[in-house]
Structure formats: C-alpha cells, structure tokens
C-alpha cells in the first residue's frame, strides 16, 4: 500500500478474507471432530453391548459391561469376559453419559437382567447428544438417529 493513498489493495482484501475463512474453518472442524468422537463412542459401546449379549446367550454368564466414572471425572465403561477385564473405554473429560444401570448383563434367552436402559452421551461443549437404548424384553441395542433421534 502506498503512503498517501486511501483504501486497500485487492491483494490485501483477499488476504484478510482468506485468514477469516481459515479461522472459521478451524472452529467448524473442531465441532465436527467432537461430534465424530461421540458418534464413535456410541457405536463402539453398542457393539460391545451386543457382544456381551451374545456371550451371555451362549452360556458365558460372567460377560458384562460396567459403567463407571473415574477420579478425574472421565466417564466410560469396562467389558468383562470370563470374569477378566477385556476392554476399557473412556470418554474425554467434557463428554458425559448417563445410565440408570451400573452393570449390563443378559439372561440365557438374551433379555436384559433387570429393567431396560436409555444411555445418553452428551458433549458439554457443543451440546451434541447421542442416545442408545437397550430394550428390556428383547435385549436389542439401538442408536437413536435420523428421524428417531431426540431433538
């Protein structure tokens, strides 16, 4: 820009616009990554619940999932097979989930022992929520999405 001239060059305007676009893109990508983390956790948890159900149907009554919150406030669950810890999953600190049951295990018929459960996984930063339902009388595990998602 020349001294004594008023206004901005086209190149300067293009640089300013591109910087603003890069910054807004970074914020958008951050929100999408957080949403993907919640989705991924919900799918892994559903897969593990279905795995425990099949193990229980085939006679391994020691297979179960226990929901927990550690001392740092991170929510997660542990999967036990034959009484031994097989897998542990944890969410980031600002993502929470609520469950009415502390432990999920099934009968030999594949039905849930106790009542059914609705598990809500919520990102406190973005407010994005994923809902997983375990049906009590059939033991089916469903992720609510699309037209069945809670608004």
Dist. CA 45–CA 99, nearest whole Å: 13
pLDDT in tens, 91-145: 877 888 888 888 888 888 888 887 888 888 888 888 888 888 888 888 888 888 7
Under DSSP, the state recorded for 130 is E
Of 87, 113, 111, which is closest to residue 102 (Cα–Cα)?
113
pLDDT attached to residue 5: 64
| Fold classified for 10-148 | minor pseudopilin epsh fold (3.55.40)
Q: What is the value of pTM for the model shown?
A: 0.75
Contact by Cβ (8 Å): 82, 60: yes
Q: What is the mean pLDDT of residues 84-90?
A: 88
Q: Within 10 A of 42 (CB to CB), how many other CB atoms are there?
A: 21
pLDDT in tens, 64-74: 999 888 777 78
Cβ burial of 72 (10 Å; 0-12, 13-18, 19+) is exposed
% of residues, the chain, pLDDT over 70: 86
Dist. CA 58–CA 36, nearest whole Å: 33
Q: Within 10 A of 131 (CB to CB), how many other CB atoms are there?
A: 18
Q: What are the residue boundaries of the structural domains of the chain, listed by start?
A: 10-148
Q: Look-up: residue for tokens 């919520």?
A: 122
Residue 90 is encoded by which pair of tokens? 């944890």
User: Does 3 score more than 60 pLDDT?
Assistant: no
pLDDT attached to residue 47: 92
Q: Quote the strand ranges of the chain, DSSP E.
A: 64-69, 75-81, 84-90, 95-98, 103-104, 117-123, 129-134, 141-144
């Amino acid at each position: 820009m020349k001294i004594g001239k008023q206004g901005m060059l086209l190149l300067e305007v293009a640089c300013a616009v591109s910087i603003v676009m890069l910054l807004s893109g970074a914020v958008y990508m951050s929100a999408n990554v957080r949403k993907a983390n919640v989705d991924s956790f919900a799918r892994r948890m559903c897969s593990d619940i279905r795995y425990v159900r099949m193990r229980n149907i085939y006679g391994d009554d020691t297979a179960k999932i226990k929901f927990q919150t550690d001392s740092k406030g991170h929510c997660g669950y542990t999967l036990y097979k034959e009484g031994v810890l097989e897998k542990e999953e944890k969410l980031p600190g600002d993502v929470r989930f609520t469950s009415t049951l502390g432990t999920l295990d099934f009968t030999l018929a594949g039905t849930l022992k106790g009542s059914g459960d609705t598990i809500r996984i919520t990102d406190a930063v973005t407010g994005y929520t994923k809902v997983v339902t375990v049906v009590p009388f059939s033991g089916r595990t469903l992720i609510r999405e699309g037209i069945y998602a809670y608004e």
